Chains A and B, each alone.
Chain A
Amino acid sequence: MHASKRAERRAARPINRDSFIDEWFEPGLIISGSPRDPEPSIRIAGGRVVELDGVPEDRFDLLDRFIARHAIDVSMAEAAMALEPATIARMLVDIHVPRSELVRLVSGLTPAKIVRVVDCLNPVEMMMALQKMRARRTPANQAHVTNRREHPALLAADAAEAVERGFAELETTVGVSRYAPLNAIAVLVGSGTGRGAALTQCAVEESLGLKLALRGLTTYAETLSVYGTEQAFRDGDDSPWSKAFLASAYASRGVKVRFTSGSGSEALMGHSEGKSMLYLETRCLMAVKGAGAQGVQNGSISCIALPESLPGGVRGVMAENLIAAMLDLELASGNDAMASHSEIRKTAKLMLQFLPGTDFIFSGYSVMPREDNLFGGGNFDGEDLDDYNVLQRDMLVDGGLRPVSEERVLAVRWRAAQAIQAVFDELGLPPIRDEEVEAAVYAHSSADLPERDVPADLEAATAFLERGGDAVDVIRALARRGFTDIAQNILAVEKLRISGDFLQTSAVVLPGGRVRSAVNDPNDYRGPTTGYQLAEERRAEIARIPQAVDPRTVGAATVGEGPLLIECGPARAGERTDEIVIALGPAFGSALRETLLGLPHRDVLEALIEGVRQEGLRPRIVKIYSTSDCGFIGHQGAQLSGSGIAIGIQSKGTTVIHRCDLQPLDNLELFPQAPNLTLDSYRVIGRNAAKYAKGEPVLPVPVQIDNMARLKYIVKTTLLHRRETEQVVPGRPAEEVRLA
């Protein structure tokens, strides 16, 4: 087939680098409603579940057994299961039904039934439901902090910047697992810098992860993966019971834990049993709940491109987020892996979590450039931070981040990089040189950093763990080297372990060692004006992006400039038929001195004069005071012109060629897009005006079309026009002027 050029252009768009497939349920490539998904059912006998979604107790697999035993409230089950899915779905979006009532109801539902309920909702309804059902009232965000070189100074600087930008949790990982203790230390030091309050984790193999947490080098763990089929669980080298035990083990040391699940993993591992992704994910979530974990990260996580290849994939991912919230779990809602090649598609997907808000909108926003993200890159990364802050500002939605000035960013990066340098020195770890510190502060990515002695780092990391190094060693090192602020901040978070306060659902730590969780900040959304509301202070913070300028300063005339024009009394009606009036707006050459594009008024005026003269006619300049409208300026000029032809020009550069017998808003030629006018264009405008006066045929002035002109200049246009309008003196006649 011969493709059109348009089709070729579309084919080259990023969206067409994404993979799209048709549904195929046998290998589990279906979001919801596989023919192999069971019908919802439950039977209770003797106070326990003896049939779950069509499976009798004697045929339960491991997950069925665990869910039946731990995740279903048998006292609620029969009443809840008797309700129609649509009834429960309507309760989810009904502001008159409180969250707590739904949580109780959902605790009596089976996995298949929960899927039926969310399948009744469209994405907007799911957003409404999520807004109500997320556990913590105040939304937050988590950052990924990693780099390819595993450079400690860069990790510390990035961690500090992440905290400054408002991230409540920092997740690092390793390329080489032996780096783990050093990476954990670097992120810990960064987390205590500046505002200094964040929980930190290092995603590594379970037993190493537990070891780091026991040493206080991390304060939470997240990568406790669960799967929706027995075989996938086995391949993940765990069972629901081992995960439940691990959750308790972490809690016994005061370490926060969230599990990980997400649709697509079972299909990817070849163990979907032909069941739909959403059904299997719901089984995961009920296993998480049954294990007593306070929360989960889901939203497909690293598998995201798999559900996104299928119809309803993005909707399904949001549905699994919602189900986690319905089960009263803390929800870190994914967005932590690249969802698409298309920026449009990535952003559209994000809105489903961003607008309703979740406990952690990203379970890993890559705070550094994608190339340094050892998790593979987030849906958004460091280069998108300004975009993200603008999205918050546009919608006045709290996405968990704070716009920060570059000055402040550099300050915390310096502090953190110097602090980790001191800690390495104190702890006898391989030295971090001054040039590494400086490179870490200003780097784009780890490619900008000097090489480190990798074998020495790895050896030191292992030795640190072997000699029992821990967070207290880090705190002492900081204090001894004068980084008392950072030492205090880290201690404030570590001290909270004694209380276990951040083990409650959806906990984050705030500056000053305070805890905010679903217990002391429960989501109480009950419709408009309830639930989370942007406080005035937070609204101002979100609004104050560094790129925003004070509109009062735009277009102000430079002080000390000499006058451009000399006024010579009221303008009379001209009698010479060879004159062309150039009528200037009231701020031209006075309150304003240049056009929208920055062309000096003197140059513009001289170009117009030159153009008129090139055709052998005489320019005559007048200044209009009674109006700032371009058409009326030109029209007034034409009334004064002996030839009947005038050029009207506003201070921002918008120009018209007018004739005395035309209506004010009619014209011979109009050049409404001042940004596209060059001095050459003004010269041609002068010539054309003269040609009209001579009665010669005129080729209209060619003007470039710039689709972006309005977008780029509308703010400045508004402000310059406001200044021009301020100069209007109603009723004042036009003034004769000449160039000074």
Chain B
Amino acid sequence: MPEYPLSEKMPDQLRTPSGLPFSAVTLEAVVAGTVTMADLRVTAEALEMQAQVAEQAGRPQLAENLRRAAELVAVPDEEILAIYNALRPGRAGRDKLLALASELETRYRAFRCAALIREAAES
């Protein structure tokens, strides 16, 4: 079971998206350019651990949100913005949304996000 806060209790198990250990994120490394903004991001693994922490604390909806987030880690910013905009009222029809859901599933294995989009499509 993950111990919270992860940054204090289990920093050894944290990695940046490019695989640097948590402890390697120092000011020196930032200045030297070995750490970039791309490193200052959460990973799917850390989000899964946070989902478990939330679940343990009795917050199933927050856990579900964090697991959807874990799926989106790999999805580029522009695609995320496009999906968000498609979900807004009157933007995309049912078929468009269903297609977006399938695409998320096949390209990113984002099953939970896909389910959310399908639900929106049917609503």
Contact = CB atoms under 8 A, between A and B. Distances in A.
Interface string B30-68: 110001110111110011011001100111111111101
A479 B84 contact: no
Q: How many A residues are at the interface, by size bracket?
A: 35 or more
Query: Which among A73, A484, A494, A518 has the highest number of chain B CB atoms within 10 Å?
Result: A494
A250 B4 CA distance: 20
Interface string A343-356: 00000000000000
A75 to B, nearest CB: 11
Contacts of A70: 61
Contacts of A518: 57
B99 interface: no
A413 interface: no
Contacts of B117: 241, 245
A547 interface: no
A470 B80 CA distance: 19
Nearest to B49: A500
A211 to B, nearest CB: 8
Given A207-B81, A246-B84, A475-B27, A498 B22 contact: yes
A216 interface: yes
Contacts of B119: 69, 241
B20 to A, nearest CB: 9
A500 B46 contact: yes
B24 to A, nearest CB: 10
B28 to A, nearest CB: 9
Interface in A183-208: 206-207
Contact of A253 (B41, B54, B65, B85): B41
Contacts of B53: 504, 519
Contact of A520 (B5, B15, B47, B58): B5
B81 A471 contact: no
Contacts of B85: 207
Interface string A218-252: 00000000000000011001110110111111111
A292 to B, nearest CB: 3
B40 A210 contact: no
Given A104-B58, A251-B69, A499 B7 contact: yes
Contacts of A251: 42, 47, 65-66, 68-69
Contacts, number: 207
A501 B7 contact: yes
Interface of A is mostly: helix
A214 B117 CA distance: 22
A597 B76 CA distance: 72
Given A249-B84, A254-B41, A503 B4 contact: no
B46 A499 contact: yes
Interface string A502-521: 01110000000111011110
Contacts of B70: 252
Nearest to B9: A520
Given A245-B84, A248-B113, A491-B30, A71 B50 contact: no
Interface residues of B, number: 62
Nearest to A488: B27
Given A291-B65, A292-B65, A100 B58 contact: yes
A732 B55 CA distance: 79
A735 interface: no
Nearest to A71: B61
A514 B66 contact: no
A497 B40 contact: yes
B6 A499 contact: yes
Q: Which residue, of B6, B40, B50, has the highest number of chain A Cβ atoms within 10 A?
A: B40
A500 B67 CA distance: 12
Contacts of A291: 61, 65
Contacts of A289: 61
Given A252-B73, A491-B25, A499 B14 contact: yes
B14 A498 contact: yes
A517 B37 CA distance: 25
A252 B89 contact: no
A515 B5 contact: yes
A254 B42 contact: yes
Contacts of A250: 69
A94 B73 CA distance: 43
B41 A497 contact: yes
A504 B68 contact: no
A206 B69 CA distance: 17
A336 interface: no
A156 interface: no
Contacts of A253: 41-42
Q: Which of A70, A233, A292, A497 has the most CB of B within 10 A?
A: A292
26 contacts: A70-B61, A73-B60, A214-B77, A216-B40, A244-B68, A248-B71, A248-B72, A252-B68, A252-B75, A253-B42, A291-B65, A294-B59, A471-B40, A491-B25, A491-B26, A494-B40, A498-B15, A498-B25, A499-B5, A499-B7, A499-B42, A501-B6, A504-B53, A505-B57, A505-B59, A519-B54
Given A501-B5, A522-B57, 5 more contacts: A103-B58, A242-B120, A250-B69, A251-B66, A498-B46
Q: Which 7 A-B pairs have the closest CB atoms?
A: A292-B65, A241-B120, A251-B69, A254-B42, A242-B87, A252-B72, A248-B68
Interface of A: 62, 65-66, 69-71, 73, 100, 103-104, 206-207, 210-211, 214-216, 233-234, 237-239, 241-242, 244-254, 289-294, 328, 470-472, 475-476, 479-480, 484, 487-488, 491, 494-501, 503-505, 513-515, 517-520, 522
